[in-house]
Amino acid sequence: MQKYLVVLRDIHKDFGIPELLSVFSLVNRSLNRCKSLEESFANSICSASAHLETEKKNTKPNIFYFANFQSDHEAFLVGSRCVLVRAIIRLWSYAPSHELCLKQLQSLGKDTFKELLKSESESFRCKLFSYGRKYSQSETVDRINFYSSILQQFPGKINLKDFRHEIWIVEDSFPTTGHTNNPNRTDLPRQVFVGLLVAQGCADKVQTYTLKKRNFIGTTSMDAELSFLMANFALADKSKLILDPFVGTASILISCAAFGAKTIGSDLSFTVLKGKSDDENILSNFRQYRLPEPLGIVRCDILHNPWRHDTLVCSNRNFDSCGWLDAIVADLPYGVRESSREFVGEKLHSKFVLNHIPKTARVGLEHLVSSLFEFAASSLVKEGRLVFWLPCTDEFSEHDKSNICHPSFRLIAACRQIVTRRFHRILFVLERKEWNDDPMEDRTGTFYNQSPFYKDFAAKLFREEQRKEVDLWKKGPSRRIE
Ligand SMILES: C[S@@+](CC[C@H](N)C(=O)[O-])C[C@H]1O[C@@H](n2cnc3c(N)ncnc32)[C@H](O)[C@@H]1O
């Protein structure tokens, strides 16, 4: 076991560690290793700033974590799949100042640097990464030169463009008071880390798949960053079959397919499934990135879906072969930009049924959620994942997470994204339990909550906005202008 520094990107801070844990599970499972390794990896993660006095009162985002990996290769496999990992560094030293860090490095045996000491062909470069402070070119060079007594020990040549190894000097300089961009700042770094870069996250993938250049998008297309996060939570890889029952423009499935998964999509809206033209539709999105097209795109309502329900198939108690989907990913319609709808039954003569497009009517989001759970419980394989968003207001608390529980699932993560001050949403990640763990009757529709936090969400959100507006009007014209 080696100690590594995980540097997260400074966005979606609720999602970083859960994503790292999910990707570790994916790597661990694909290597057919023992499940207990996932638990010991999770236990090894701790904040690298937790010991700092200032951190105890500080609510500013932490992006530095320590974690134990078995090898550089393992750290590479995990780190290079994560959207929110900026870098994983094999730690050589860390201390509260550059001086102490250099002292520690000088006291280390040559074994520590053995890859870099092998031969002259092991070219390398050194990089300064500073969090919370910007340095000019000459200040950066000064800081790197401070470590020259160590860097000179390596026989390899420094090559800034074509290098084999990258040494990272990481400075955590988040100011204890005031702004990061204050030019007169004098405070010293809170801590310094030095080590060898072993992995960088997959932020470049997000650039490639950005919605800005996507062929076919809609008003609720999921952005590439969050879609890739969902694909990681769904443990997407080439052995997986993943379905999105609210597929829309298929942004989430595109990320799953980019990781090699086979995909299926369904949606109730005929307009979205048809697309704008032959060159601007769901399939053209897959063609744009040369990804394999979905195995199928089906028009159906989640409330009356045609998919196989293994609750019946497994009544012979052959639980090992239960389930046919590895993951379900979903962004449900919250009723703000997209309304939740269901097919309304019409009695038709059989000769009209084939080409008939049924009418739809509004339905509460809570009904879609309970159908989603019923469908997921009867179609996911053991340890298959259900990854979906639900909207909430800023009043959502830890306690409300208990709204999302079902006898067939265990909760893996619930991460909050703040969309606006009042409009938040939670990404829920659940895992299918063993099929024989839950009583048979629990798999069918027991998920029903009288007043879940997401019920009538749009009304709650807009009622509050209207109330505020009325309050402003009551305060008179001068207040309105403000
Ligand atoms: C938030 S959008 C999904 C957007 C999609 N993730 C994307 O990236 O484009 C929700 C979708 O759910 C669909 N929908 C609404 N009610 C449905 C139902 N009962 N069954 C299936 N799909 C439904 C809507 O037509 C809409 O396309």
Q: How many residues belong to the chain?
A: 482
Q: How far is the CA of 252 from the centre of ligand 1 (A)?
A: 12
Strands (E), 17-76: 46-47, 64-69
| β-pairing verdict for 409-418 and 423-432 | antiparallel
pLDDT reported for residue 182: 67
pLDDT reported for residue 57: 56
CA distance 419 to 357: 35
pLDDT reported for residue 482: 33
pLDDT reported for residue 481: 38
CA distance 439 to 32: 29
Can you tell me whether residue 179 is helix, strand or coil?
A: coil
User: What tokens does 225 get?
Assistant: 């960053």
Ligand 1, atom 27: closest residue by C-alpha: 248
**Residues 26/81, Cβ–Cβ less than 8 Å:** yes
2-201: CATH number: 3.30.2130
CB 335 less than 6 A from any atom of ligand 1: no
pLDDT reported for residue 479: 42
pLDDT reported for residue 480: 40
- Percent pLDDT > 70 in the chain is 86
pLDDT reported for residue 118: 72
Q: What is the mean pLDDT of each run of 10 residues along the chain (482 residues)?
A: 94 95 97 95 91 59 91 97 98 94 89 74 90 90 93 83 91 74 72 96 95 95 97 97 98 98 96 93 97 96 87 63 93 87 78 77 90 94 96 89 88 94 94 76 53 84 68 55 36
From the alpha carbon of 222, which atom of ligand 1 is closest?
8
pLDDT reported for residue 67: 97
CB 333 less than 6 A from any atom of ligand 1: yes
CA distance 261 to 254: 9
CA distance 296 to 266: 8
Residue spans of the domains in the chain: they are 2-201, 206-464
Q: Which of 209, 220, 285, 328 has most ligand 1 atoms within 8 Å of its beta carbon, as the pocket-test mutant? A: 220
CB 220 less than 6 A from any atom of ligand 1: yes
Q: How far is the CA of 338 from the centre of ligand 1 (A)?
A: 7
**Residues 362/339, Cβ–Cβ less than 8 Å:** yes
**Residues 96/172, Cβ–Cβ less than 8 Å:** no
The CATH topology of domain 206-464 is: Rossmann fold (3.40.50)
pLDDT reported for residue 193: 97
Q: Which of 243, 256, 268 has most ligand 1 atoms within 8 Å of its beta carbon, as the pocket-test mutant? A: 268
* Per-chain mean pLDDT for the chain: 87
Q: How far is the CA of 392 from the centre of ligand 1 (A)?
A: 18
